Structures are given as structure tokens and as C-alpha cells.
Amino acid sequence: MSTEYTSSLSNTPPPGLVEAQHIAVTAAEQTVATACAGESEQAVFDHLEAYARSLGAVDFWTPTIVGFGPGSLSCFPTDRPSDRPLWDLDIGHVDVHPVTADGWWGDCTRSIVTGAHPRHHELLKTVTDIHNEVLSSLKPGMRACDAFAIFETLLDNTPYRLLDRLENIGHSLDRGDSYSNGYLNRWNNTVMTGAWAFEPFIGTHLYGGKVEDVVWFGPDSCTILR
């Protein structure tokens, strides 16, 4: 983690991080709200990146991810948008990682549901509820594995499974760096300080749902950046 703010870690998130995450959340949520049936993954990808740049992003620290239908089952940096269209009865996600002019990184995922398929809506509600419950349980001094344990207990009470191929629900995040303190999984005993991205990704063998926000762990409090 950058020595710029670890030496004086405070309960208030750094303004640069707040700005980067504002860009990420705003771009992801606007894209999800305006995506229409018939648009391809590539078209939504182009819109998302252009909108993030209009908000102040100068680059993206890992590739932007857009996945619809079968593409909703994977959300990984090696995924690339295709000409697969969003159907009028579908589920998918966008995951954007903007970089600001002064080098701060953001990270946000939001899911898209089109039409009235009840299973898609049930999944989106479940992953959102789990995400919010995990976030509301976070405390300073908590280890990454402790947060994962809360998630796993909640997931066990649903019909869904964890879809992340590395078996985690997030990672550390820093100015100009990510993953340096590891992942939010059952094996990471690291005490969480600074910024961590929480991104539960769950579903069935047919489709998946994902939501992501960044949390700032100060010495006495946790702040969700939305």
C-alpha cells in the first residue's frame, strides 16, 4: 500500500479515491440504466468507457468487462466484449476500472436485468441483499477471511453458488495498485486497512449476478464509497 496515506491512515477516505470511485459508480449505474435490448456487449462497452472518460477517467487499470447471457457466468480480466446482444429477457453485468489524472483507481460492477424473468430478478435481489449485509457487518480490524466467512454463511442459505474462478469476493485496492494485500477469500488472514473492493459474484450454471463497491477501512470506522 502507498506510503502516502498508510503513514497517516484516517477515518476519512482520500479525496482522490472518492473521486475515482464516484466515476466508477456513476458510469456503471448510468450504463446499466440506459442499456437496451438489442445492444451488443461491444456497443455497451464503448458507451461505458466513453462515459467514464467524460467524467474524468484518463485510462482503465484493468480491462472493462461487459457480459450478457452466457457471458454473465464470467467476470475476469481476460474476458473481452463480443457482438453478443442483450436480449429482451436477459441478465448481464458491467465492470469498470477507471484511473484518474492523479493516479487513483476505482472499481465498480453493476448487473443488468431486462424483462420479467422471475429467476433473474430473484438472483439480482439475492446478490444485492448479501452484498449489503456483508457491507453492514464490516468493522475496523476485521480480517479478509472474516468478511468472506460472513458472505459464505449467507450464500449457504440460498440456491446459488460462488462463480468467481479464484473463489473470492474482492480484493485490496490502492492508488496505482491492486491485489497487493490479497483477496477476500477464506485463506487471507490480512487485517483490512485502506481500500478494499467487495464484489460477490453468484449464480447457477445458467447465469450469474454481481455487484461491487469499494470500502475504506479507517482506524475507527468503515466507509462505503457509493
Q: Using one digit for the tens of pLDDT, what is the confidence trace for 136-180? A: 999 999 999 999 999 999 999 999 999 999 999 999 999 999 999
pLDDT tens across 119-146, in order?
999 999 999 999 999 999 999 999 999 9
CATH (domain of 41)? 3.90.230.10
- Please give the model's pTM, rounded to 2 decimal places: 0.95
Percent of the chain past pLDDT 90, that is, above it, reads: 96
pLDDT tens across 36-90, in order?
999 999 999 999 999 999 999 999 999 999 999 999 999 999 999 999 999 999 9
Give CA–CA dist 196/171, Å, rounded.
Answer: 6
SS3 59: strand
Give CA–CA dist 191/123, Å, rounded.
Answer: 30
Give me the number of domains the chain comprises: 1
Listed in sequence order, the residues at least 6 apart from 194 whose beta carbon sits closer than 8 Å to its beta carbon are: 1, 5, 6, 9, 172, 173, 174, 216, 217
Query: What beta strand segments (E) does the chain contain?
Result: 59-60, 65-68, 90-96, 98-99, 108-114, 161-162, 170-174, 177-183, 194-198, 201-203, 208-210, 213-217, 222-225
Residue 55 in contact with residue 21, Cβ under 8 Å? no
Residue 94 in contact with residue 109, Cβ under 8 Å? yes
Give the pLDDT of residue 204: 98
* CB-neighbour burial class of residue 106 (10 A; exposed 0-12, middle 13-18, buried 19+): buried
User: Any bridge partners for residue 59, and if so which?
Assistant: 99
Q: Quote the domain boundaries for residue 83.
A: 3-225
